[in-house]
Structures are given as C-alpha cells and as structure tokens.
C-alpha cells in the first residue's frame, strides 16, 4: 500500500500517449500561440511604443519576451484544468466506481491524476522554452551557468506549484459534477477569466480597478511573477513599463501558491473522501 497512485498515473499517461491527436494538439498549440500570436503582437506593440529603449542601464525586452510567461501560464492552465476531465470519463464508463470500491486509499487516486497533470505540464513548458530560444526570445540573458541552473530550478518550482493547485481544482469540479458537459462548461467559465484577469498579456496597471483587484488574488498572476523573475530578471523594461520584482515580491507569490495548493488539496481530498459508490 502507498504506491497505488503510480497505477493511476501510468494509466492516464498511456491514454495521453496513445491518443495521438490529443498528444499532437497539446504539444503544438502553445508553439502556435507563441509563433503566430506572439510574433504578430510583438511586432505591433514594439512599433506602437516609440523608442522602446527604456531607462539607461535597465534591460529592455520585446513584447514576445514579455508574453512568454503568459503563454506558459495559459498552457498550464488549459492542460491542468481539462486534465481532471479524465475523472469525469471514468465516472461515465463506470471505472471510477471500481476505483472507489477498491482497497486503494482515495487520496491515491487524487495523487495519481495530479501527477499526470504535472508531467504533461512540464513536458509542454520544456517545448515552449526550447522553441522560445529558437525564436530569439530574450530569456536567461547574461546568466552564468550557476545562475542559469538556479533560474531553471526556480521556474520548475513555480510550474509545479501552479499546476498542482489547478489539478486539484479540476479534480474537484470533475468529481462534484455528474454531467461531462457541465464540467466542461464550468472549467471553460473559469479558465478565460483567470487568464485575462492577470498580468499574462499586459501590465496590471492598465486594467480596470475591479479586474485589477481580481488579478492580485489570481494564482496565475503570482505564477507569472515567478516566471518572469527567473526567466527575464528582477528588473526589466517592456511594453512601455518598468518592472521591478523584489525578493519580497517573489517570496509573496511563492507563499501564495503554496497556500493555494494546500487549500485546494484539502478541498479535493474532502470531495474524494465523501464520494459515494453508486450502483
């Protein structure tokens, strides 16, 4: 007992690998976003903002570099939020009833499905980062080998924390709702506001007051703070705005994501423990 989650994880990963259309779409979508939307918007905004140099001595990056963290966040958001849908399918096909009735602790089901979401997210983030470097995105500039390793480690930490919390949210929705269509509708309803009410594509200062308030409690915003801190640096100029992320800002975002994960885990575990075997 104690390693049953590996079976749940491996089954979900095999399903992900065998459905080639789903595999291809999940890997190519973020690349297309970066290549098509990113380049087009970068050319537009870089031409719209005159000068583009920023204060002397401060790193100036183009819009493509600025929005890279947003593309990574969007990819993780959609991958994890729809990752829990497999639980819905298990309920529809009767497999969930068998898992809940088995001696396997229900926490192991949650652990297995969450781990598969983390692996998928890490795979996609790796592809995005490699493609971004091919496009000439200004990340890890002037980093020594040691600084580069620290930056990659920091990005991985924020990716894991962000993806884990969202996997718990997705699992809660999938286990609470009986209708597959209803679960998809709720997930879609959540993903779009989470993405656009954040600092993914534009500075928070440009948002209306109400949306700005939402963005400060949005886990996606805190993930992007960490992503930009490690991939670009604590100080840079982009999109006509100076960005300065202090160590305090980084720690605040890190603690926020940890608290978010703990709360969502407790809620998800409660939902799994209370799930009833029907039929």
pLDDT tens per residue across span 15-56: 777 776 666 777 777 777 777 777 777 766 666 665 456 677
- How many CA atoms lie less than 13 Å away from 34 in the CB half-sphere? 28
- Distance from C-alpha of 177 to C-alpha of 189, rounded to nearest angstrom: 14
Tally of domains in the chain: 1
pTM of the predicted structure, to 2 decimals: 0.88
Using a 10 angstrom Cβ sphere, with 0-12 exposed, 13-18 middle and 19 or more buried, the burial of residue 3 is: exposed
Instruction: Answer yes or no: is 279 within a domain.
Output: no
- pLDDT for position 51: 47
- The model's confidence at residue 11, banded by pLDDT at 50, 70 and 90, is confident
Element holding 58 (H helix, E strand): none
Residue at 201 is within a domain: yes
Q: What is the pLDDT of residues 216-259, one digit of tens each?
A: 999 999 999 999 999 999 998 887 788 889 999 999 999 999 99
Q: Which domain holds residue 97?
A: 5-274
């Amino acid at each position: 007992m104690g390693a049953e989650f590996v079976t749940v994880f491996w089954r979900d990963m095999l399903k992900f690998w065998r459905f080639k259309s789903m595999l291809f779409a999940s890997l190519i979508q973020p690349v297309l976003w970066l290549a098509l939307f990113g380049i087009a918007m970068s050319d537009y905004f870089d031409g719209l903002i005159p000068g583009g140099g920023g204060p002397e001595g401060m790193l100036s990056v183009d819009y493509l570099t600025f929005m890279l963290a947003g593309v990574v966040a969007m990819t993780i958001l959609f991958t994890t939020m729809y990752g829990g849908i497999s639980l819905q399918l298990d309920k529809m096909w009767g497999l969930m009833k068998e898992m809940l009735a088995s001696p396997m602790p229900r926490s192991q089901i949650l652990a297995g499905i969450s781990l598969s979401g983390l692996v998928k997210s890490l795979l996609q983030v790796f592809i995005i980062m490699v493609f971004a470097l091919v496009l000439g995105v200004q990340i890890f500039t002037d980093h020594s080998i040691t600084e580069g390793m620290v930056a990659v480690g920091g990005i991985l930490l924020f990716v894991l924390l962000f993806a884990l919390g969202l996997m718990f949210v997705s699992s809660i929705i999938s286990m609470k709702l009986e209708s597959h269509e209803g679960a998809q509708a709720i997930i879609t309803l959540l993903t779009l506001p989470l993405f656009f009410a954040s600092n993914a594509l534009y500075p928070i200062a440009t948002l209306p007051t109400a949306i700005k308030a939402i963005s400060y409690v949005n886990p996606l915003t805190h993930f992007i703070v960490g992503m930009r801190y490690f991939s670009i640096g604590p100080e840079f100029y982009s999109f006509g705005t100076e960005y300065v992320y202090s160590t305090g800002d980084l720690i605040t975002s890190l603690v926020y994501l940890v608290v978010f994960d703990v709360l969502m885990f407790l809620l998800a575990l409660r939902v799994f423990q209370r799930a009833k075997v029907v039929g």
